[in-house]
Amino acid sequence: MFESLTDRFEGIFHRLRGRGRLAEADVDEVLREIRVALLEADVNFRVVRDLVARIKEQCVGADLSASLSPAQQVIKIVHQELIASLGGETLRLTYASRPPTVLLLAGLQGSGKTTACGKLARWFRQQGRNPILIGADLQRPAAVEQLRVLGEQAGVPVFSDPLDPVTTAAAGIEEARRLGRDVAIVDTAGRLHVDEALMDEARRISAAVQPHYTFLVVDAMTGQDAVNVAESFHAALEIDGVILSKLDGDARGGAALSVKQVIGRPIAFASVGEKLPDFEPFHPDRMASRILGMGDVLTLIEKAEAAYDTGEATKAANKLVSGQFTLDDFLDQMQQIRKMGPIQSLVGMIPGLPKELKNAEIDEGELGRVEAIIRSMTPAERRDPGIMNGSRRLRVARGSGVTTSDVNALLKQFKEMQRMMKLLGKGARGGRARVPSLR
């Protein structure tokens, strides 16, 4: 697991307390760490070089703020630089005066174009539009069939003709006009940017349909090659926007930054799952945190939203505030946590955790043992762990197949947690209700 940037900097900046400004040598050391973090996140080599140079300019000579530690300040600069690089001008979709508004989707094989087309169709319907899907991928077996199924799910008609992609696409636009559809979404076959014949075909499709918006679909787990792909497609088709797919994985997504930097077009949408509703506008700030490995609380919240029952959550909330959180609740929480994904990646999303914790090898099997310990306790013991004397602890240890020191550790940890949560509740009342900085 990758250490967060904060952890990397801690040691370096420990020495800087009391100094007024950030000297160049200090900044260089920090920049090396930033470079490592970005490369590990799959940001392109050259893009990293330029970015680090820009960050250096902003850091050297910067006054050390009174409220932020030097580490935090540099991170803030880096974070903001990334947000600026990823964001900037958003793509405003304006509809053509003479319908249909044509969208063309292009990209490598397997990037997620067909699924994105289905999602766009649904999205436009929600905006009150009447889209049509045009299947111009005649290369991949059953691609049109896939699009038909997606069209059905989205409630949108699908047109395709088993001719050649260029003719089909053009015919599709005609059909769109005939049916009075105001948006036409054209799916194309995946193609390599170095395949001259196919890139030429893409140009001809574009010429035939005259798209108002051409989207490049990029897989979030793409590595260094993202720049080559983006540059070639942009040169051939003039990309208007990017759709980043498979963001529901745990790839850091540096490709997003690389692509944005080399073609300068906005990342319009983020695809966050296999189902049609898993589609949303792109958030530069979330992506910046994700690339830096800084934890992504907002994504964590979304995962929680998916896994949590509202009734459960309310109950937990009240208990949290009043300090009535019991071991049974702890057990419940563990079940919820297990639903949400490998605990290793969840821990990675929590900002502010000490690095020993983040990098710890967490064996999911251990969760089972913790569960066993709690289940070996009687309801009374779970309600009030204070009654756990030596003989009870021994009994529980035997019953769950662990040692007494394991039982001790759990009870101690739980007590700490109860205390923490009470304070969290109190602290949150005073200021903004966010996950407090735990450093």
Tokens 């964590």 belong to 300
Neighbours of 419 (CB within 10 A): 11
Give the 3-state secondary structure of residue 44.
coil
- Judged by beta carbon, residue 84 or residue 420, the one nearer another protein is 420
Count Cβ neighbours within 10 Å for each residue of 37-53 and write b for 16 or more, e otherwise.
bbeebbbbeebbeebbe
- Contact set for another protein, span 111-130 (CB under 8 A): 111-112
The span of 92-100, 102-110, 172-180, 234-242 binding another protein (CB under 8 A) equals 102-110
By CB under 8 A, is residue 367 in contact with another protein?
yes
Contact stretch for another protein (CB under 8 A) within 72-80, 83-91, 109-117, 375-383: 109-117
The least CB distance from residue 389 to another protein, in Å, is 21
Tell me the residue length of the chain. Answer: 439
CB of 81 to another protein, least distance (A): 20
Q: Give the residue among 352, 68, 99, 302 at the shortest CA–CA distance from 210.
A: 99
Least CB distance from residue 278 to another protein, whole Å? 7
Question: What tokens does 341 get?
Answer: 């994904």
**Binding range to another protein, per CB under 8 A, among 7-15, 25-33, 105-113, 173-181:** 105-113
In the complex, minimum distance from the CB of residue 162 to another protein, in angstroms, rounded to a whole number: 5
Those residues with Cβ within 8 angstroms of residue 107's Cβ, 6 or more apart along the chain or in another chain: 113, 190, 216, 217, 218, 229, 233
Tokens at 123, concatenated: 């999205």
Q: With CA atoms as reference, report the closest residue to 240 among 106, 124, 365.
A: 106
CB of 65 to another protein, least distance (A): 21
Q: Closest CB to another protein among 360 and 387?
A: 360
Q: Is 223 in the site for another protein (CB under 8 A)?
A: yes
Q: Out of 200, 238, 305, 384, which residue is the one contacting another protein (CB under 8 A)?
A: 305
Of the two residues 58 and 224, which places its CB atom closer to another protein in the complex? 224
Stretch that binds another protein, among 53-61, 81-89, 177-185, 252-260 (CB under 8 A): 252-260
| Structure-token match 């899907």, residue found | 133
Which residues, in sequence order, are CB contacts of 304 under 8 Å at separation 6+? 336, 340
Give min distance, CB of 148 to another protein, in A. 7
Identify the residue among 9, 213, 282, 330 touching another protein (CB under 8 A). Answer: 330
Kindly give, in sequence order, each residue whose CB lies less than 8 Å from that of residue 415, ignoring residues fewer than 6 positions away. Answer: 385
List the interface residues with another protein, window 25-84 (CB under 8 A).
Answer: 36, 39-42, 44-45
For 270, left (φ over 0), alpha (ψ -120 to 50), or beta? beta
Please choose, out of 20-28, 72-80, 84-92, 279-287, the segment that lies near another protein by the rule CB under 8 A.
Answer: 279-287
Angle at 302 between CA 352 and CA 317, to 5 degrees: 75
User: How far is residue 323's CA from residue 352's CA, in Å, rounded to a whole number?
Assistant: 23
Nearer to another protein, 37 or 209 (CB): 37
Contact between 145 and another protein (CB under 8 A)?
A: yes
CB closer to another protein out of 130 and 344: 344
Buried/exposed code over 255-264 (b: 16+ C-beta within 10 A; e: otherwise): bbbbbbbbbe
Using CA atoms, how far apart are residues 16 and 144, in angstroms rounded to an integer? 61
Work out how close the CB of 275 gets to another protein at its nearest, in angstroms, rounded to a whole number.
6
Contact 74, 288 (CB under 8 A): no
CB 173 → another protein: shortest distance, Å?
20
Q: Does 229 bind another protein (CB under 8 A)?
A: yes
| Amino acid of residue 156 | V
CB of 105 to another protein, least distance (A): 14
Task: Give the per-residue contact string, 169-208, with another protein (x = CB under 8 A; - = no).
Answer: -----------------------xxxxx------------
Give me the residue label for tokens 């506008």.
Answer: 281
Closest distance to another protein from the beta carbon of 99 (Å): 27
How big is the site for another protein, counted in residues (CB under 8 A)?
130
Residue number, 181 or 246, with CB nearest to another protein = 246
Q: Which amino acid is at 322?
A: S
Give the residue with the Cβ less far from another protein, 22 or 239: 239
- For residues 439 and 335, the answer to whether their CB atoms sit within 8 Å is no
Structure tokens at 386: 């204070």
Among positions 356, 389, 390, 391, the unique one binding another protein when judged by CB under 8 A: 356
Q: Which of 16, 62, 96, 347: binder of another protein (CB under 8 A)?
A: 347
Which residue, 16 or 334, is less far from another protein as judged by CB? 334
Q: How many CA atoms lie within 13 A of 10 on its CB side?
A: 11
